[in-house]
């Protein structure tokens, strides 16, 4: 005869095994599921307004909101990725054919350097620039090859891409329509108490909004300004470098400075003083100030993670799971802090209760 404890343990085991099997089943579509959840959170307020405008008809509001997401997010991002893939492929082809030679550019920079700089480089055994030339050429080649290879893989997996887009759009509709009901079901099924569950849900939504609405919008603006500036100055592969600046802008203490500053220095050393001054002015007074101006209203202080934690978690997420890591990394870090914050609060409340009980007994 089985005991109640054995039955409970067996049921928990079945729940865990079925949950693992379900996760393995949907894992190939985790990217589509992730971005469907992210878009549902970001456009949740619009969904509620549409429901009120349509007299409470949730399905109609969800359909309109899904169509708006397609035109606002899916189509522009698809066009950007196609243009980026084409530009990266062209640049990699030119590098392979020696039409664009970074070593020659470095040689030109070296010829423009003043004597005291050359003497200092000679004391550092860098006067020949050979190692720098080799490293720069290899770095640019690796970056463009990685982007071009990834673009080719995406092109070859068009069917999988379309399936993922279909899953994203289909799931997004139901998240808009049934989102509150799903959240309520998760709250009721959670093994945590309601206060802990609501706190973690709130942190999850806040970090998604802060990471995507804040960081991505800021990075997109910085990358767009940098890319347009490069294009106006006649710099090769302006779209590619704009995207690189946007990617670097997601990382605190790194930023787009690593792209526009060397180019501005090159212009000044090669005698293109006007281009160099203009690029420095745009980089310092526009690109670098955007973060300080836009981050407080877009992200907010209450949900902002420490810069060092954002940097480490974003790099870790990118290294582990690719592009989706810039959302999942900070999200995991925020939930980590939230869980330990709850634990410390519970410990403190438990200690306070224990102290009160002792005082009462005394």
pLDDT over 50 at 121, yes or no: yes
pLDDT over 90 at 218, yes or no: no
pLDDT at 45: 87
Mean pLDDT of all residues in 26-55:
88
Concatenated DSSP letters of 96-142: HTTSS-HHHHHHHHHHHS-HHHHHHHHHTT-TT-HHHHHHHHHHHHH
Measure the CA–CA gap between 146 and 148, rounded to whole angstroms. Answer: 6
pLDDT tens for 43-95 read 888 889 998 888 888 889 999 999 999 998 888 887 777 777 677 677 667 66
Q: Work out the pLDDT band at 19, boundaries 50, 70, 90.
A: confident
pLDDT at 117: 60
Q: What are phi and psi of 135, to 5 degrees?
A: -65, -45
Measure the CA–CA gap between 231 and 253, rounded to whole angstroms. Answer: 25
Residue predicted with more confidence, 360 or 59: 59
CA torsion sign for 89, 90, 91, 96 is positive
Measure the CA–CA gap between 103 and 271, rounded to whole angstroms. Answer: 18
CA torsion sign for 223, 229, 234, 235 is negative
pLDDT tens for 149-171 read 655 555 555 667 778 888 899 99
Distance of CA 45 to the CA centre of its chain: 22
Structure tokens at 71: 């035109």
pLDDT tens for 189-200 read 877 788 888 888
Question: Residue 161: helix, strand or coil by DSSP?
Answer: helix
Measure the CA–CA gap between 160 and 181, rounded to whole angstroms. Answer: 30
pLDDT at 66: 92
Structure tokens at 62: 């969800």
* Residue 3 CB burial class (10 angstroms; 0-12, 13-18, ≥19): exposed
pLDDT tens for 299-349 read 655 556 677 777 788 788 878 887 778 778 888 888 888 888 777 776 555
pLDDT over 80 at 294, yes or no: no
Q: Work out the pLDDT band at 144, boundaries 50, 70, 90.
A: low
Helix (H), strand (E) at residue 31: helix 30-42
DSSP state of 190: -
Q: Work out the pLDDT band at 172, boundaries 50, 70, 90.
A: very high
CA torsion sign for 302, 244, 141, 133 is negative
pLDDT over 60 at 127, yes or no: no
Among candidate residues 250, 261, 267, the one with its CA nearest the CA of residue 312: 250
The pTM assigned to this predicted structure is: 0.70
Mean pLDDT of all residues in 124-131:
56
Residue predicted with more confidence, 102 or 271: 271
pLDDT at 157: 58
Mean pLDDT of all residues in 269-276:
80
DSSP state of 266: H
Among candidate residues 358, 34, 342, the one with its CA nearest the CA of residue 195: 342
Domain boundaries, the chain: 29-99+133-185, 193-342
């Amino acid at each position: 005869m089985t005991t109640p404890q054995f039955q409970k343990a067996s049921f928990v085991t079945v729940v865990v095994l079925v949950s693992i099997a379900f996760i393995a089943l949907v894992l190939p579509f985790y990217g589509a599921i992730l971005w469907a959840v992210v878009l549902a959170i970001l456009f949740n307020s619009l969904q509620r307004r549409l429901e009120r405008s349509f007299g409470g008809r949730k399905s109609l509001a969800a359909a309109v909101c899904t169509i708006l997401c397609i035109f606002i997010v899916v189509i522009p991002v698809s066009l950007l990725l196609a243009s980026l893939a084409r530009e990266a492929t062209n640049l990699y082809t030119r590098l392979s054919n020696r039409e664009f030679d970074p070593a020659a550019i470095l040689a030109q920079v070296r010829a423009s350097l003043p004597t005291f700089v050359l003497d200092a480089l000679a004391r550092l055994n860098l006067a020949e620039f050979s190692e720098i030339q080799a490293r720069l050429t290899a770095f640019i080649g690796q970056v463009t090859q990685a982007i071009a290879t990834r673009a080719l893989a995406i092109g070859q997996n068009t069917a999988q891409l379309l399936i993922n887009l279909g899953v994203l759009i289909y799931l997004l509709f139901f998240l808009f329509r049934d989102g509150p009901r799903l959240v309520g079901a998760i709250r009721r099924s959670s093994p945590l108490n309601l206060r802990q569950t609501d706190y973690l849900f709130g942190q999850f939504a806040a970090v998604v909004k802060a990471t995507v609405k804040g960081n991505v919008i800021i990075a997109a603006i910085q990358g767009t300004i940098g890319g347009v500036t490069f294009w106006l100055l006649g710099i090769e592969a302006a779209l590619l470098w704009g995207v690189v600046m946007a990617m670097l802008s997601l990382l605190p203490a790194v930023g787009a400075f690593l792209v526009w500053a060397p180019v501005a220095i090159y212009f000044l050393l090669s005698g293109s003083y006007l281009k160099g001054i203009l690029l420095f002015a745009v980089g310092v007074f526009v690109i670098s100030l955007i973060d300080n101006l836009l981050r407080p209203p877009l992200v907010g202080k209450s949900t902002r993670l420490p810069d060092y934690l954002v940097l480490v978690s974003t790099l870790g997420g990118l290294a582990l799971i690719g592009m989706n890591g810039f959302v999942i990394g900070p999200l995991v870090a925020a939930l980590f802090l939230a869980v330990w914050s709850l634990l410390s609060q519970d410990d403190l409340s438990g200690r306070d209760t224990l102290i009160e009980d002792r005082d009462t007994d005394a």
